[in-house]
Amino acid sequence: MRVNTRDFVQEYTLLECIQCGRCTGGCPVSMKTALNIRGIIYEALIEDFMEISGMEVLWDCTNCLTCTTRCPKDIKPADVIIGLRGYIVGEGKGVPPRVRDALMSAFTRGNTLGFATEGRDAWTEGLDFEVPNVLDAGQTDLLFYVGCTPAYDPRIQPVTRALANVFQRAGIEFGTMGIDEMCCGNEIRRIGEAEGFADMVEGFHEMLQEFRAQRMVAVSPHCFNAFHNEYGELPFPVQHYSQLLVDLLEGDKLVLPHEVRKKVTYHDPCFLGKHNQIYDEPRQILRSIPGLEFEDLDRSRERSVCCEGGGGRMWAEGTNVEERLAHQRVRDAVDLGAEVLAVACPFCLLTLEDAVKILGLDDKIQVMDIMELVAQAIGD
Amino acid sequence: MSDLIKVTIDGRDTLVKRDTTILQAATDLGIEIPTLCHHPALEPYGACRLCTVEVIQDGWSRLVTACNYPIRQEIDVLTASEQVVRGRRMIVELLWARCPEAENLQELAARYDIETPRFALREGELCYLCGLCVRLCDEIVGARAISFVSRGVDREVGTPFYKVSEACIACGACEFICPTGAIKVTDVTDKEPRPLLLDFDVGLRGRGNIFIPFPQAVPNVPVIDREHCLHFQANACGVCDVVCPPGAVDYEQEDEFIDVEVGAVVVATGFDPFDATRKPEFGYGRYPNVISGLEFERLASASGPTKGKIQINGTEPKEIVFVHCVGSRDKAGAATGAGEEYCSRICCMYTAKQAHLAHDKISGARITVFYMDVRAFGKGFEEFYDRVRAEGITYRRGNPSEVYKRGDKLIVRAEDTLLGRTVEVPADLVVLATGVQPRADADQVAEMMGLAFSDDGFFAEAHPELRPVDTHRPGVFLAGTCQAPKDIPDTVAQAKAAAARTIVELSRVREGVA
């Protein structure tokens, strides 16, 4: 696949690049793989055409956004990767098989995991109340967007249920789109499937004609990011659950009476932190839990390190499977003396928990979603 | 009875007022009597007994403490007789045995030729109960937060019932006056002490409430920080007045506003250094060994807080990394207030100079400078850049992206763009080449002077090429970094141009041209 770089550099304003290297210098995978976004931009600048077939490192990018955050010239290197992936996806050759499967499943089944569409509300099993369907009801206060992984993955389902429980307890009128809910497409766009993503956005806007809601909340920072930043104008504000929980805590709608006597640290999900600057809310929730001792990791907030679960990397191993950033992250948390490594993202939960198991550190540290700690503090 | 009493000290006669202490009379004569517990602003105490002298009166001789012995009749005093020295030697020996690690006692012991005390050593003890802290807290501060507690050999300085003091105001006077470092304000209170920091040393050194702002200050006299001064705030203290020999302290003095009629004004209000906390990725403000260029400047200065030793918390760094362009050439940062779009023009060369100083002062130091372009454009600059590299300082191309900790070391993470490889460079000290920013209060000056701003936030000159020191307001001229970032030679050149320009203006007025 030959990319016409003359058009490409204009589209991504690459001519302003001064080759300072802050993008690659900050890139979390650049120490372990040959991915060098600064070098790719340089090649695009000096060559008329760029051959990207077989450029496997393009699939190493997690879209953590460190490069874009650090760029002094307001270039968006993370978008450059997405753009180049777009050429590969468009041509259909060289897409990693599991990424291809996820894409396929997203379009045919509405979820990236390859599960049956009908199973999307299976997460509600075990709740002691019915979760209303907004498409039936026609209107609701809070649209609860569940998302693929929170709906299907058995490890994440308890997180989703815990959140629904909080809504129920707080007396919030809420509902989901049931089995008609479709994948948000955040990862689809990052895999480079721009047209497919545009269709998903259109589909969602069409569904919005069927009901009215005052606001919307998402479990995953990835879904939140898509709706918040990439869905155009929505008729209601979108929040990540951590923001909504802070509102509930501050309005005394959510009380946390039970102590959770644990030393906890927190891993900033990229799509909550670097992408959306939501750093304080998850910490505020953790600090509101009685008995909980909170301490930040050295590399936290905008200096946080990616777990390698974003940007399609949940389905692509990348070119270096041996060294995982999640392993280092878990080790750092253990060194800090934390008993719990808290997250607020289903992908982070899965990658970091895998790391704990692989490193055999189960007896030292537990990876938990903030929602699970909140559930303990509520007494559920 | 005459008002004055004759006293003879070491054979020298003097006349003193009734109730003058022997210590005072001797000090006035220039005769030194050692003491550990005396302070001119505090009541005489007589605790350390070190000021013991021999008094001969009516043919009788006896040993007394000079600090609290009031002269009421004619006496003869010997400050260094054999008996005095023998007694004082014993006192030093006893005190030193109590506090073997106290540096001032070690010096005294050396002076009295004591090699080791004959008494049992009290290892780890630093307090010899001089009571300076207790009396200062009582007599000057008025807080009475600390006192002597227990008796006999258990006597020590402490808070009532050893509880965290409510009365303490966390002023830190006890810690300040303690000669051996035995007491810390944090031992007394859990209130957070807020040390007053010297602006000129970028907060690397503390200051008192009365201080000389910087060595070249004009006029070169101390000023009082009224906002924090105990005398102004609580009508207490007054120590500076007591100890100032010529009595120069004047608490009645007020600020004065002076109206001056002038024919021309040169605005030379300077710049603000970029605040590196706005770039959280570098860990400035989080790690004590990540410092700004200005902080390095003070550390390397002979008149600075470390007297020119490059040290962080008393340790000399062996691996030093300099980071170029922090807050400069940063268009993205400019949009969010975390940087400036322009090149600050001074950082390349001050970094080269600082790298050279580090190389000079720390033998065997491994010094790396991360740059993206080296702009050595001035006279002799390229030659200096060559010299610095020839000294063995490594220049690596790539602007670092992050600084974090690994064990005891800082790690600077950057792409070496010439190698095309991301590297982690360990460092004991990271110096951020922080850039130049318009002053935060430039708005007020602009309003007062009727000045306009350029897009970069500096004051606008009337024409960038043809009228570089003029403003649009006749009679108001610009010099230095208030107009744009510039180094010292450029600043001097522009200042001289502005001065010349004012002369033109003034002579026009005089000759009635204007």
Question: What are the CA-CA distances from residue B198 to residues B36, B186, B436 (Å)?
Answer: 29, 21, 21
pLDDT at residue B1 greater than cutoff 70:
no
Give the span between the Cα atoms of B287 and B407, in whole angstroms. Answer: 13
For B99, other C-beta atoms within 10 Å of its C-beta total 22
Q: Which of B329, B414, B416 sits opposite A72 (nearest CB)?
A: B329
Q: Which of B332, B339, B400 sits opposite A25 (nearest CB)?
A: B400
Taking only the tens place, the pLDDT of each residue in A177-219 is 999 999 999 999 999 999 999 999 999 999 999 999 999 999 9
Specify the pLDDT at position B237: 87
Give the span between the Cα atoms of A182 and A109, in whole angstroms. Answer: 8
Specify the pLDDT at position B513: 60
Please tell me the pTM assigned to this model. Answer: 0.88
Yes or no: say if A66 and A28 are a contact pair by the CB < 8 Å rule.
yes
CB contact under 8 Å between B415 and A24, yes or no, is: yes
Specify the pLDDT at position B236: 84
The torsion region of residue B59 among left (phi > 0), alpha (psi -120 to 50) and beta comes to: left
Q: Which residues of B touch A332 (CB under 8 A)?
A: none
Taking only the tens place, the pLDDT of each residue in B342-396 is 999 999 999 999 999 999 999 999 999 999 999 999 999 999 999 999 999 999 9
The more confident residue out of A286 and B246 is: A286
Q: What does the pLDDT average to over A356-379? A: 97
Give the span between the Cα atoms of A127 and B316, in whole angstroms. Answer: 62
A298 touches chain B (CB under 8 A): yes
ipTM of the complex: 0.94
Specify the pLDDT at position A274: 97
Q: Which residues contact B258 (CB under 8 A, 6 or more apart)?
A: none
Q: Tokens 């999900």 belong to which residue?
A: A269
Specify the pLDDT at position B308: 95
Amino acid present at B98? R
A-B C-beta contacts closer than 8 Å: 85
User: Tokens in use for A115?
Assistant: 């599960």
Q: Which band of pLDDT confidence, cut at 50, 70 and 90, is reported for residue A323?
A: confident
Yes or no: say if A86 and A171 are a contact pair by the CB < 8 Å rule.
no
- Chain B, residues 298-337, CB within 8 A of chain A, namely 325, 329-333, 335
Q: Which of B331, B373, B415 sits opposite A25 (nearest CB)?
A: B415
A267 touches chain B (CB under 8 A): no
Q: Which residues of A touch B337 (CB under 8 A)?
A: none
Q: What does the pLDDT average to over A278-298? A: 98
Give the span between the Cα atoms of A150 and A155, in whole angstroms. Answer: 8
Taking only the tens place, the pLDDT of each residue in A85-138 is 999 999 999 999 999 999 999 999 999 999 999 999 999 999 999 999 999 999
Give the span between the Cα atoms of B287 and B113, in whole angstroms. Answer: 45
Q: Which residues of A touch B416 (CB under 8 A)?
A: 21
pLDDT at residue B310 greater than cutoff 90:
yes
β-bridge mates for residue B436, sequence order: B273
Q: Which of B280, B333, B397 sits opposite A72 (nearest CB)?
A: B333
Q: What does the pLDDT average to over B473-496? A: 96
Q: Which band of pLDDT confidence, cut at 50, 70 and 90, is reported for residue B511?
A: confident
Q: Which of A21, A24, A72 sits opposite B330 (nearest CB)?
A: A72
Specify the pLDDT at position B192: 87
Amino acid present at B18? R
Specify the pLDDT at position B234: 84
Specify the pLDDT at position B59: 86
User: Tokens in use for B51?
Assistant: 């000021």
Across chain A, mean pLDDT equals 96
CB contact under 8 Å between A25 and B405, yes or no, is: no
Specify the pLDDT at position B2: 57
pLDDT at residue B514 greater than cutoff 60:
no
Interface test with B, best of A13, A17, A20, A60 (most B CBs within 10 A): A20
Taking only the tens place, the pLDDT of each residue in B232-253 is 988 888 899 988 989 999 999 9
Specify the pLDDT at position B508: 83
Residue of A nearest to B328 (CA): A72
B186 touches chain A (CB under 8 A): no
